C-alpha cells in the first residue's frame, strides 16, 4: 500500500508500514492495551518491535522468555519489574504489584520477547493485569512463535493479548526498499526474483544482497544461489540422508514441478524405495509433500533448497539427471523443458520441437508455459533472426500471462531487435498493462501500420488488433473495443488464441457501449464456444465482471472466485488480478467487507509480484472506501494515495483513483473535496457515463446538494436518471433516487422527497447491495427529521443504524446516533428540559465543533445551512456560559 513513511524506512523496516502503524496504535489511547507480534524465524519480529520501542518516549520494561527458565514461576515478571516482590499464589495480588511498579502519569510499555518460552505464571499475571486494571495506562507487547512453545502456551498467549500482528513475507517493493537502504538499486524484476527466491525472508534477502556482486541484479537470467547459512544447512542435512533419500532429493531438485513417485522412481532406478525415501527427506525439512492426482509427489522445501542442491551437484550431474528425467516423464511440455535444461549450447532440432509445442500450448491460452518454452527455444537457436523472433514471442507470452516484471526486464533485449509488427505489438501490450496509455497508443499504431492494417500481414495485424482490444477496454471505449474485437476475429479466426481472447472481452465492450442485452448474449455464446483449457479463465472473468455491472452479485461472485486461481490449466496472473479486483468490489457491495479486504490484499500481493500497474487502483478504491467507512483514516488515506500513485490516463485506473479520493472525502463529510475529486468525470465520456460501470454520479449529485448547489444538482441528475431508466439499471436507479430525494428535501418539497426515497428503497431492497440499502435509509431519515417527521425519521434511521453496524461502518453508525439523539424521540419530553440544557440538535452541533470541525464541515455533516450552525452556536454559548469553542470544549468535558 504505497511507500513506507521515512521513519519506517530509516528504521530498516521497509514493507512494515502497516504493522508499525498497528503497533504504535497500542501505545496510545486510554486503559491497558496488549498485542502479540508473531512470525517465523528471520521474518523481522525483533527488528520491528525494537525499532518501535526505541522510538517510544515513555517508560519501557523488557524481559525475555527462555526455555530453560520456563519452569521458574514469575521469572519473566522478575525481569520486567526487578526488585518488586511478586506474590506467587494470587494472580490478582501479583498483577497489583506489577501495576504499582508502573510509572504514574505516563503509559508504560511492558515488552516480552520470546514469550512462547515464558513461564506460565508470568503470562497468567499479565493477562489479569490487562483485564482487571481498566484505568491503568499500560501496553503489554509479546513477541512469540506459538508453535514453538510448550503445550497450552498458545492459549495462554491469546489470554493476554487483544491484538495479533502476524508479519508477512516481504513483497518485491519491500525487497527493493531493503536493497536501497543497503545502497543497492534493484529493478522491479530483480526485486521480484529475490522476493520469490527467499520467500520474502528479510534475513535471507539481506544475506544475498551482501554476498552477490551488483552485476547479478542486472542480469535477468542469472541464477540466484542459496544464502551461505541456508546452503551450509542444506549440505549438512543432505549428507545425513540415506542413499535413496538423497537420490530422491536430487531428482526433485532438477524437476520443474512436483515430482510424482513413479517419475522419481524411474529416474533413480529404485521405484520400490521412493515412499520410504520421501518420508525421510520430508522429515529432514528439505522436501515438502505435494498433492497429485496420481499419488504422492514431492518438491524442494523452497527455492533456496533447490539452489543449494543444484550447486552441490554441479552442472554435469544436473544435466545427466535432467536428461534422464526428460526421457521418463509423460507430459510432452515437461519432457522438452527438461531436455532443454540438459543442453548447454545450441540445438536447432530441439528448438524447433519446443517451438511447435509452444504453439500447441498457445492454442489453449497457457501463456506462462508458452513463455518458458519459447525462452528455451530461443536459447537453443543458431539463426540470429529466428532466435530474436522466438525471444520476442516469449516476452509477448510473459505479458499475456501477466508476468510484467519478467517482461520488463527483457525490454532492452526486445528493443535491440529489428522493428517488426510483432515487436511493436509486444511493447504496446506491455505498455497497456503498465498503465502507459500514450506509449501503448504509439507502439500499437506503428505496429498496425507496419502490418498494413491487415492487407499485407494478416497474422501480425490480428495480433495487433487483439492488443487494441485491451487498450480500448482500459480506456473505457466500448464501441472501439467491439470494433477491434471484430477485426481480430475476422483476421485470425474465431478459434485461434487471439480470436478467443477478443471474444472473451467483446461482451464488456457491448456493455460499455450501452448494449446490455447484447452483452449477455455475447457471453452466452462465448461460454458455449470455450469449455476447456486456460481460455476458460478469461471467459469466466469477463462474464463475472458483466454480472457485477448488471447487479447480479451472486453470479458475479461465483464466476470471479473461480477465475482467480492460476494453478489449473496454466491460467494467467493477468486474468487473476482482474478477477480479484472485481471480486473485491463484489464482496463490498454484498456487505462482505472483511472478504473484500482479503481479496484486495491478495490482489496487492499479485500486483506487486507481477508488476501490473493498470489494475492496482481498482483494488485500492474499495480498500480506501472500507477503511474510510470504518473510521480508519490513516489506512484509507494510504489506499487512496496508492490508487493515485501510477498516474495512469487509462480510465480503468484513473476513475477508481478519483472514486477512492471522493469516498474518503465523503466519509469525513468534506463534500467540496468530493466534488473536486469527481469533477473530471463530468466530461470524461466513454463508460463513465454508462450506468453500472462506475458508481460516481450519485456521490457527485449528493455532494452538490450538500454544498447547496441545488440548481446544479438538478441539471446534473436529470440526464443520468433518464439514462439509468432507459437501461433499466436497478442499482443506478436506486442510487440516483437517493440523490433525488436529498435534492427535493433540500428544496422543501417534503412529499416529493418522501416519494423519491420510497421508490429508491423499493428498487434497492430487491438488490443484494447492503451498503446502498443502508445509505438510502440514512438520507431518508435525515430528510424526514428536517421535515419535522421525527417519529418516522426515528424508525428509518434506526433501521439504517442497524444495517451500518452490521457492516462495521462506524462513521455512519455515529451519524445515525447523532441524528437519533437530535430527533429526541427517546430523549424524554421537551417540557422536562431546563432552560440551560442543550437540545439534542444543539448537543450534536456542540459535539462536532468541539472535535475541531468548522462551521461549514458541521453544516455538511448535519445537512443544515451554515447560518443554522451559527444560530445554534449562539444559543449554545449563552446556555453554557462561554464565549469560544475552546471554552465550550473544556466545559463540556467537565474541565
Which pLDDT does position 293 carry in this prediction?
57
Query: Does residue 583 surpass a pLDDT of 70?
Result: yes
pLDDT tens profile 397-428:
988 888 888 888 888 889 988 899 999 999 99
User: Could you tell me the pLDDT band of residue 338, with boundaries at 50, 70 and 90?
Assistant: very high
Crossing angle of helices 188-197 and 303-313, in 10° steps, is 80
Nearest to 489 by CA among 508, 474, 469, 472: 469
With 60 as the cut, is the pLDDT of residue 6 above it? no
pLDDT tier at 463, thresholds 50, 70, 90? very high
d(CA 513, CA 475): 12
Which residues make beta-bridge pairs with 503? none
For the structural domain made of 17-166, what CATH number should be given? 3.40.50.300
What SS3 class is residue 376? Answer: helix
Low-confidence winner among 81-95, 517-531, 801-815, 872-886 (lowest mean pLDDT): 872-886
Does 569 score more than 50 pLDDT? no
The pTM of this model reads: 0.73
| Residue 147: pLDDT band with limits 50, 70, 90 | low
Pairwise CA distance, residues 777 & 371, whole Å: 53
* Among 142-151, 320-329, 478-487, 488-497, the least confident range: 142-151
d(CA 663, CA 8): 27
The pLDDT score that the predictor gives to residue 291 is: 66
Does the pLDDT at position 614 exceed 80? yes
Residue 219: pLDDT above 50?
yes
Coil/strand/helix, residue 258: coil
**Class in CATH terms, 830-892:** mainly alpha
pLDDT of residue 256 exceeding 80, the answer is: no
Q: What is the mean pLDDT of residues 383-396?
A: 92
Q: Comparing 162 with 770, which gets the higher pLDDT?
A: 770
Residues of the chain with CATH 1.25.40.10: 695-823
pLDDT value at residue 154: 74
Rounded CA-CA distance 388/209 in Å is: 32
How crowded is residue 208: how many other Cβ atoms within 10 Å of its Cβ? Answer: 21
**Following DSSP, what letter does each residue of 527-580 receive, concatenated?**
HHH--SSTHHHHHHHHHHHHHHHTT-HHHHHHHHHHHS--TTTT--HHHHHHHH
Mean pLDDT, rounded, for 116-143: 89
Cell of 399: 505479458
Q: Where in the chain is the domain with CATH 1.10.10.10?
A: 830-892
The pLDDT-based confidence of 764 (bands split at 50, 70, 90) is very high
Q: Are 584 and 550 in contact (CB under 8 A)?
A: no
Average pLDDT over residues 67-72: 87
- Highest mean pLDDT, choosing among 261-265, 392-396, 732-736, 866-870: 732-736
**CATH architecture label of 695-823:** Alpha Horseshoe (1.25)
Closest by CA position to 697, among listed 744, 659, 654, 644? 659
* pLDDT number for residue 420: 92
- pLDDT band at residue 394, thresholds of 50, 70 and 90? very high
100-126 average pLDDT score: 88
Q: Which long-range contacts (CB under 8 A, 24 or more apart) does 149-153 make?
A: 149/116, 149/117, 150/70, 152/120, 153/116, 153/118, 153/120, 153/123
Locate CATH 3.40.50.300 in the chain. 17-166
* Phi and psi at residue 493, to the nearest 5°: 100, 145
Average pLDDT on 707-723 reads 95
On whether the CB atoms of residues 428 and 447 are closer than 8 A, the answer is yes
pLDDT in tens, 195-207: 889 988 888 999 9
Cell of 275: 515412499
**Average pLDDT score over residue span 267-279:** 91
Q: What is the CATH number of domain 228-341?
A: 1.10.10
Would you place residue 893 in the very low, low, confident or very high pLDDT band (cuts 50, 70, 90)?
A: low
Least confident of 3-7, 260-264, 544-548, 884-888: 3-7
Half-sphere exposure at residue 700, Cβ-oriented, CA atoms within 13 angstroms: 22
pLDDT of residue 162: 79
Q: What is the pLDDT of residue 2?
A: 41
Sign of the CA dihedral 773, 779, 782, 787? Answer: negative
Nearest to 527 by CA among 576, 562, 554: 562
Count of other CB atoms within 10 angstroms of residue 838: 18
108 within 8 A of 61, measured Cβ to Cβ: yes
Grid cell at residue 114 = 520470546
Give me the mean pLDDT over the 869-895 stretch.
72
Burial of 270 (0-12, 13-18, 19+ CB in 10 A): middle
- Spatial CA neighbour of 611 closest among 435, 480, 418, 374: 435
Helical (H) or strand (E) element with 508: helix 497-512
In the prediction, which pLDDT does 835 show? 45
Amino acid at each position: 500500500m504505497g511507500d513506507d513513511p521515512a521513519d519506517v524506512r530509516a528504521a530498516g523496516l521497509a514493507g512494515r508500514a502497516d504493522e508499525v502503524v498497528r503497533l504504535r496504535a497500542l501505545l496510545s489511547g486510554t486503559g491497558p492495551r496488549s498485542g502479540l507480534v508473531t512470525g517465523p524465524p528471520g521474518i523481522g519480529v525483533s527488528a520491528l518491535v525494537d525499532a518501535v520501542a526505541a522510538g517510544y518516549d515513555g517508560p519501557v520494561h523488557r524481559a525475555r522468555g527462555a526455555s530453560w527458565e520456563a519452569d521458574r514461576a514469575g521469572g519473566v515478571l522478575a525481569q520486567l519489574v526487578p526488585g518488586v516482590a511478586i506474590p506467587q499464589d494470587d494472580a490478582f495480588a501479583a498483577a497489583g504489584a506489577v501495576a504499582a511498579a508502573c510509572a504514574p502519569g505516563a503509559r508504560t510499555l511492558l515488552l516480552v520477547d520470546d514469550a512462547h518460552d515464558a513461564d506460565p505464571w508470568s503470562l497468567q499475571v499479565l493477562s489479569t493485569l490487562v483485564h482487571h486494571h481498566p484505568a491503568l495506562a499500560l501496553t503489554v507487547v509479546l513477541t512469540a512463535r506459538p508453535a514453538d512453545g510448550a503445550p497450552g502456551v498458545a492459549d495462554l498467549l491469546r489470554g493476554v493479548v487483544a491484538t495479533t500482528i502476524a508479519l508477512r513475507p516481504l513483497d518485491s517493493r519491500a525487497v527493493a526498499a531493503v536493497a536501497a537502504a543497503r545502497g543497492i538499486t534493484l529493478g522491479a524484476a530483480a526485486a521480484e526474483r529475490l522476493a520469490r527466491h527467499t520467500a520474502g525472508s528479510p534475513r535471507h534477502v539481506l544475506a544475498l544482497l551482501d554476498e552477490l556482486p551488483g552485476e547479478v541484479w542486472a542480469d535477468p537470467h542469472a541464477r540466484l544461489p542459496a544464502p551461505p547459512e541456508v546452503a551450509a544447512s542444506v549440505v549438512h542435512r543432505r549428507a545425513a540422508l540415506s542413499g535413496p533419500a538423497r537420490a530422491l532429493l536430487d531428482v526433485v531438485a532438477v524437476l520443474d514441478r512436483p515430482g510424482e513417485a513413479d517419475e522419481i522412481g524411474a529416474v533413480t532406478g529404485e521405484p520400490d524405495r521412493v515412499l520410504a525415501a520421501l518420508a525421510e527427506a520430508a522429515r529432514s525439512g528439505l522436501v515438502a509433500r505435494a498433492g497429485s492426482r496420481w499419488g504422492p509427489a514431492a518438491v524442494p522445501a523452497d527455492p533456496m533448497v533447490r539452489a543449494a542442491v543444484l550447486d552441490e551437484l554441479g552442472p554435469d550431474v544436473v544435466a545427466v539427471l535432467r536428461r534422464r528425467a526428460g526421457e521418463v516423464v509423460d507430459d510432452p511440455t515437461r519432457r522438452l523443458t527438461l531436455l532443454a535444461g540438459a543442453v548447454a549450447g545450441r540445438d536447432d532440432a530441439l528448438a524447433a520441437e519446443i517451438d511447435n509445442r509452444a504453439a500447441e500450448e498457445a492454442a489453449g491460452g497457457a501463456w506462462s508455459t508458452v513463455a518458458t518454452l519459447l525462452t528455451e527455444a530461443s536459447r537453443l537457436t543458431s539463426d540470429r533472426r529466428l532466435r530474436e523472433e522466438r525471444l520476442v514471442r516469449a516476452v509477448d507470452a510473459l505479458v499475456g500471462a501477466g508476468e510484467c516484471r519478467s517482461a520488463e526486464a527483457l525490454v532492452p533485449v526486445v528493443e535491440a531487435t529489428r522493428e517488426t509488427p510483432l515487436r511493436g505489438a509486444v511493447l504496446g501490450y506491455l505498455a497497456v498493462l503498465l498503465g502507459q496509455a500514450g506509449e501503448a497508443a504509439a507502439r500499437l499504431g506503428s505496429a498496425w501500420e507496419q502490418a498494413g492494417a491487415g492487407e499485407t500481414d494478416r497474422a501480425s495485424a490480428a495480433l495487433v488488433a487483439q492488443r487494441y482490444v485491451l487498450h480500448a477496454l482500459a480506456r473505457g471505449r466500448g464501441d472501439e473495443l467491439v470494433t477491434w474485437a471484430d477485426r481480430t476475429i475476422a483476421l485470425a479466426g474465431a478459434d485461434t488464441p487471439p480470436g478467443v481472447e477478443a471474444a472473451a472481452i467483446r461482451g464488456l465492450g457491448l456493455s460499455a457501449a450501452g448494449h446490455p442485452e447484447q452483452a449477455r448474449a455475447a457471453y452466452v455464446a462465448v461460454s458455449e464456444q470455450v469449455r476447456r483449457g486456460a481460455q476458460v479463465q478469461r471467459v469466466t472473468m469477463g462474464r463475472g465482471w458483466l454480472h457485477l455491472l448488471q447487479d447480479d452479485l451472486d453470479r458475479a461472485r461465483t464466476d470471479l472466485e473461480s477465475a482467480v486461481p492460476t494453478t489449473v490449466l496454466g491460467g494467467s496472473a493477468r486474468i487473476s488480478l482482474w478477477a480479484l479486483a472485481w471480486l473485491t468490489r463484489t464482496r463490498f457491495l454484498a456487505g462482505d467487507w472483511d472478504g473484500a479486504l482479503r481479496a484486495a490484499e491478495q490482489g496487492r500481493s499479485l500486483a506487486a509480484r507481477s508488476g501490473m500497474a493498470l489494475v492496482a487502483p481498482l483494488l485500492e478504491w474499495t480498500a480506501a472506501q472500507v477503511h474510510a467507512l470504518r473510521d480508519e483514516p490513516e489506512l484509507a488515506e494510504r489506499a487512496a494515495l496508492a490508487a493515485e500513485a501510477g498516474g495512469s490516463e487509462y480510465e480503468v485506473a484513473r476513475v477508481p483513483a478519483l472514486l477512492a479520493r471522493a469516498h474518503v472525502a465523503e466519509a469525513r463529510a468534506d463534500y467540496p473535496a468530493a466534488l473536486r475529486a469527481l469533477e473530471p468525470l463530468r466530461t470524461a465520456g466513454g463508460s463513465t457515463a454508462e450506468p453500472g460501470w462506475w458508481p460516481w454520479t450519485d456521490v457527485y449529485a449528493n455532494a452538490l446538494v450538500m454544498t447547496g448547489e441545488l440548481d446544479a444538482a438538478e441539471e446534473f441528475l436529470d440526464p443520468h436518471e433518464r439514462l439509468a431508466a432507459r437501461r433499466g439499471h436497478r442499482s443506478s436507479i436506486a442510487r440516483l433516487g437517493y440523490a433525488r430525494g436529498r435534492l427535493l428535501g433540500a428544496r422543501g418539497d417534503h412529499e416529493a422527497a418522501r416519494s423519491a426515497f420510497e421508490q429508491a428503497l423499493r428498487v434497492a431492497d430487491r438488490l443484494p447491495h447492503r451498503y446502498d440499502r443502508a445509505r438510502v435509509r440514512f438520507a431518508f431519515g435525515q430528510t424526514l427529521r428536517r421535515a419535522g417527521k421525527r417519529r418516522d425519521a426515528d424508525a428509518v434511521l434506526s433501521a439504517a443504524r442497524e444495517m451500518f453496524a452490521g457492516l462495521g461502518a462506524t462513521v455512519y453508525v455515529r451519524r445515525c446516533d447523532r441524528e437519533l439523539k437530535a430527533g429526541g424521540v427517546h430523549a424524554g419530553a421537551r417540557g422536562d428540559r431546563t432552560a440551560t440544557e442543550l437540545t439534542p440538535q444543539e448537543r450534536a452541533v456542540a459535539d462536532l465543533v468541539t472535535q475541531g470541525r468548522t462551521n461549514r464541515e458541521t453544516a455538511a455533516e448535519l445537512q443544515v445551512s451554515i447560518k443554522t450552525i451559527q444560530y445554534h452556536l449562539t444559543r449554545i454559548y449563552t446556555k453554557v456560559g462561554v464565549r469560544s469553542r475552546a471554552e465550550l470544549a473544556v466545559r463540556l468535558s467537565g474541565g
